[in-house]
Chain A
Amino acid sequence: VSGRVAVTGVGTVWGRTVGRDALRHVLYPDVPAVEVAGASAPSGRDAAPGMRQMDGLARIAVIAAKAALADASYQVGDDEADRIGLAFGTGYGCLASNYEYLEVIRARGTRLGNPVIFQNTVPNAATGYVAMATGIRGPNATFAAGKVAAAEALAFGREQIQDGWAFAALCGSADQLSIPTRWILGVQGPESAAGEARPFDRRRDGIVPREGACFVLLEDLARAEERQAKVQAEIIGMGQAGGRAGDAPPLAAAIRAALEDAQISPGFVDLVVSSANGSWIGDRHEAQAVLEVLPHSVPVTCPPARLGDTLGATMAFGLAAACLVFSVGRLPAFDPTFVPDPDCPLLFSDTEPRALQPQIVLLPIAGDDGTAHALLLQRYGS
């Protein structure tokens, strides 16, 4: 093993679209969508028989996880299943199932709870379903960490590979909107009245929460090369920082930690894939942190401008978007009417398509648990 970690597969569920190619069409509408057999996100009675015991969170997680393995052309063999890791993150987990179970026992009494719903009231139920659907039996972890959940999952998977416990790790995150999730988001800040996600725009008025799931397959680079996998990117650094209670999450510190982990200087970063979501304060905070560490000339793109706020899956979707930028060779264009916020003076590039062949991409994210994370991706072969 090399200890270097490659991204070899990406699988997404966003709206009713499934897979990397579908995501590419969402981010680059001028690129034709490639139809994938069975590519829709079934729900409720439409769900396949094997999925009927799952809640909505698990369903989209399983679909995205299988899409990531398919994208990587990776077959999980029984002889190596113990050495493939599985890490799942979710911002608000299974609150929908908790709510559903509690509503039933409130209405009908505690003795009439539904055992099938109960088994879905823990976030790692989704992880278990993904394990059963894929046959993965190696290092296993589930994190419920708000907006930074995907970062936690990716950090775990990467560490398991670097420490030699896993050859590969399927890492991802998903979130599902529900009544309690809306309660929580309502406390955290406003949703956009206009229903438009406008990160860094002077007219932004709140977030646009969206359901979604995104998994990536991480592999030891040497093993990926040995099996002639299509390497989409290499993770070269990750950083996390906590902070004082009441202060903004220390995003600049997390970015510096990731740069130190990657042993590169800030000048090497040539694209930021932002996690800004249209929050008035959060976007400004992210812009300030990026400008504090990186040169002003680094372009910034922001997938939540198109995807909305995918909550705990945000960093996973950002990673998927960065892999698409590597492959398409230009930044997506989202909003030609963009009005810059003078307090977010970034080189924001989402107003028109722009050719770019970045070598090193930074993905920063601030969490609602008071922590911040950053991840550095490198173009394969760079």
Chain B
Amino acid sequence: VSARVVITGIGVLTANANSATAYANALRDGRSGVRTMRRFDPGWPFRQAGEVDLEEADPTLDRVSQLAVSTAHQAVADACLPADGDWRRQAGVFAGTSRGPAIALETALLCGAEAVHPALLAEIPFHSVARNVAGRLGLEGPRVTVTMACVSSSLAVGRATSAVRHGRIRVALAGGVDALTNLSFSGFSVLRAMTKTVCRPFDRRRDGMVLGEGAGWLVLEEAEHARQRGARIYGEVCGWGTAGDAYHPTSPHPEGRGLRQAMAQALADAKLPVDAVDHVNLHGTGTAANDPAECRGIAGLFRERAPRVPVNSLKPMIGHTLGAAGVLELAGSVLGMYGGFIPPTLNHEEGDPACPLDVVKGASRETRVDTFISTKSAFGGANVAIVVRRTA
């Protein structure tokens, strides 16, 4: 079995949007949600982040699961799947998260395990996100929890694509979630990865990243299943690939070796030549090490065409959402392809000679994209690339 896999629903919660429609509008307008943090004091002078306004209505769920469940409902509604349909019996949940329900762990540590509702202790394991989403939405298919730092949700989309393609399921909810935590803010700060100004991916003056939080889900559906029910199709996930750097615990391979390999595998999986790619959504953290490594990975694959392929990074608009970054930024490019534009890389003004790329900057670029790649890289030297193409 090798079924085609299409995207029929998108759910998004980011600092700049609370739905797929709002996200598309924010990205087209180049509107950032990065602001001074309100939920907690991270204890550092730089307190900007892509924080999500969420009414946490369920005290038995970690904030992370609340973000995930809320967004999953959105995605199902966006796909116009019936609330009580048979599709739920086999529908799988493929969740990616870097830190999981880390706020439950932080709360238990700060207040003592005895002071925490037992339900929140049960929330600490990473797999509670998939369990909660499946349980709250009544999805009875397989559950997979990917925990690969910043590529978590990208690999979740890949695994879901394979499950549908191989005929194991016909509908999958694939995505990811992460929340802003003391641990993340402190950790990336002591690693000196955070900006002291603004996040400026691929800019000569870049000085680091800005954190964010959020959740995103895609409804992935076997193409024939979607066609039979007359679903709107945003695009087709036609290939994906993953590769390791085997180089350093936190830094990417300086030549972008694993990234290039992941992209090559994704294109081979899609049976598409490199020349078919109209746009690359990059990881683009704005750190000193990441951006040039990505650029060299692109150069290694695209060769002389590399400086002419439009690329972008959405992190200046939503922050680096860690485990959710893969799906949220993929969703951004899907919505852009569907709407006829490429979202801009905010704050990018002066190109870096070490990154000779066609960075979409300033405002969104109105253009037709037929095929794009979204790439993400992570701690542990993990890289994932996903190829999406227009279906009509």
B127 / chain A contacts, CB cutoff of 8 Å: 144-146, 367-369
The answer to whether B134 and A128 have CB atoms under 8 Å apart is no
The answer to whether A102 and B182 have CB atoms under 8 Å apart is yes
State A8–B188 Cα separation when bound (angstroms). 40
Mark interface residues in A77-88 (1 if CB within 8 Å of B CB, else 0).
000011000100
State A297–B111 Cα separation when bound (angstroms). 53
The answer to whether A138 and B244 have CB atoms under 8 Å apart is yes
A262 / chain B contacts, CB cutoff of 8 Å: none
Q: Out of B98, B146, B189, which one reaches A141, CB within 8 Å?
A: B146
Task: Report A134-189 residues with CB < 8 Å from chain B CB.
Answer: 134-146, 152, 156, 159, 163, 165, 180, 183-184, 186-188
Q: Out of A92, A243, A370, which one reaches B125, CB within 8 Å?
A: A92
B159 / chain A contacts, CB cutoff of 8 Å: 141, 156
A282 contacts partner chain B, Cβ-Cβ < 8 Å: no
B138 contacts partner chain A, Cβ-Cβ < 8 Å: yes
State A135–B381 Cα separation when bound (angstroms). 12
Of the listed stretches A31-39, A119-127, A196-204, name the one at the interface; the rest are far from the partner chain.
A119-127
A124 / chain B contacts, CB cutoff of 8 Å: 147-149, 378-380, 382
The answer to whether B142 and A110 have CB atoms under 8 Å apart is no
A141 / chain B contacts, CB cutoff of 8 Å: 146, 148, 155, 159, 242
CB distance from B143 to the nearest CB of A (A): 5
A227 contacts partner chain B, Cβ-Cβ < 8 Å: no
The answer to whether B246 and A102 have CB atoms under 8 Å apart is no
CB distance from A99 to the nearest CB of B (A): 7
The answer to whether B380 and A131 have CB atoms under 8 Å apart is yes
Closest residue to B116 on the A side, CB-wise? A183
CB distance from B289 to the nearest CB of A (A): 14
CB distance from A375 to the nearest CB of B (A): 14
B187 contacts partner chain A, Cβ-Cβ < 8 Å: yes
A102 / chain B contacts, CB cutoff of 8 Å: 105-106, 109-110, 182-183
State A156–B242 Cα separation when bound (angstroms). 12
A135 / chain B contacts, CB cutoff of 8 Å: 246
Q: Out of B42, B186, B382, which one reaches A128, CB within 8 Å?
A: B382
Q: Out of B142, B144, B246, which one reaches A136, CB within 8 Å?
A: B246
A114 / chain B contacts, CB cutoff of 8 Å: 190
A95 / chain B contacts, CB cutoff of 8 Å: 105, 124
The answer to whether A105 and B186 have CB atoms under 8 Å apart is yes
A113 / chain B contacts, CB cutoff of 8 Å: 186-187, 189-190
B100 contacts partner chain A, Cβ-Cβ < 8 Å: yes
CB distance from A182 to the nearest CB of B (A): 9
B80 / chain A contacts, CB cutoff of 8 Å: none
A69 contacts partner chain B, Cβ-Cβ < 8 Å: no
State A135–B98 Cα separation when bound (angstroms). 24
CB distance from A240 to the nearest CB of B (A): 5
CB distance from A41 to the nearest CB of B (A): 20
Closest residue to B264 on the A side, CB-wise? A82
The answer to whether A128 and B381 have CB atoms under 8 Å apart is yes
With A53-B249, A245-B135 known as contacts, the answer to whether A111 contacts B189 (CB < 8 A) is yes
The answer to whether A136 and B125 have CB atoms under 8 Å apart is no
Closest residue to A373 on the B side, CB-wise? B142
Mark interface residues in B118-145 (1 if CB within 8 Å of A CB, else 0).
1001101111101100111011111111
Mark interface residues in A54-97 (1 if CB within 8 Å of B CB, else 0).
00000000000000000000000000011000100011110100
A129 contacts partner chain B, Cβ-Cβ < 8 Å: yes
Most buried by B among A82, A110, A188: A110
A42 contacts partner chain B, Cβ-Cβ < 8 Å: no
B265 / chain A contacts, CB cutoff of 8 Å: 139, 165
With A111-B189, A142-B146 known as contacts, the answer to whether A370 contacts B135 (CB < 8 A) is yes
The answer to whether A143 and B243 have CB atoms under 8 Å apart is no
The answer to whether A132 and B125 have CB atoms under 8 Å apart is no
With A110-B44, A129-B249 known as contacts, the answer to whether A122 contacts B149 (CB < 8 A) is yes
9 contacts between A and B (CB under 8 A): A98-B183, A111-B44, A113-B190, A118-B187, A138-B244, A139-B265, A159-B166, A186-B121, A368-B125
Sample of 16 further A-B pairs with CB below 8 A, known A137-B244, A369-B143: A102-B106, A110-B44, A110-B189, A114-B190, A121-B99, A123-B126, A136-B246, A137-B258, A141-B159, A144-B127, A144-B147, A183-B108, A241-B142, A242-B139, A243-B140, A370-B131
In order of increasing CB-CB distance, the 9 nearest A-B pairs are A128-B380, A245-B135, A118-B187, A110-B43, A144-B126, A140-B244, A131-B246, A369-B127, A124-B380
